[in-house]
Amino acid sequence: MDAPTRDLGEENKGGEENKQEEGEEPEELFETNWELEVDNFDDMGLKEEVLRGIYAFGFKEPSPIQQKGILPIIQGKDTIA
């Protein structure tokens, strides 16, 4: 038996959450059960070679998803990001 599905594109159609001004960027929102955030790459426990690569590509600070997502991945937690 197939699992039930739903069309996420139809959810909240016409609701207040979907109203945006033209040209306005949508707000980034994600839910998590992981509360710890690491606001810089140096505190993530990454290998020195990885840190050099990150900084060599010009990254200065992690994005919001990286702040919450990298550490659980390193710790071997199941992660969907």
Residue of higher predicted confidence among 49 and 79: 49
Residue 7's pLDDT band (boundaries 50, 70, 90)? very low
Answer yes or no: is pLDDT of 61 > 90. Answer: yes
Cα atoms in the 13 Å half-sphere on the side-chain side of 64: 6
Residue 52 buriedness (CB in 10 A; 0-12 / 13-18 / 19+): exposed
Answer yes or no: is pLDDT of 58 > 50. Answer: yes
Residue of higher predicted confidence among 37 and 1: 37
User: DSSP readout, 8-64?
Assistant: TTTTTTTSGGG---TTPPPPP----S------SGGGGT--HHHHHHHHHTT--S--H
pLDDT of residue 55: 96
Residue ranges per structural domain of the chain = 33-81
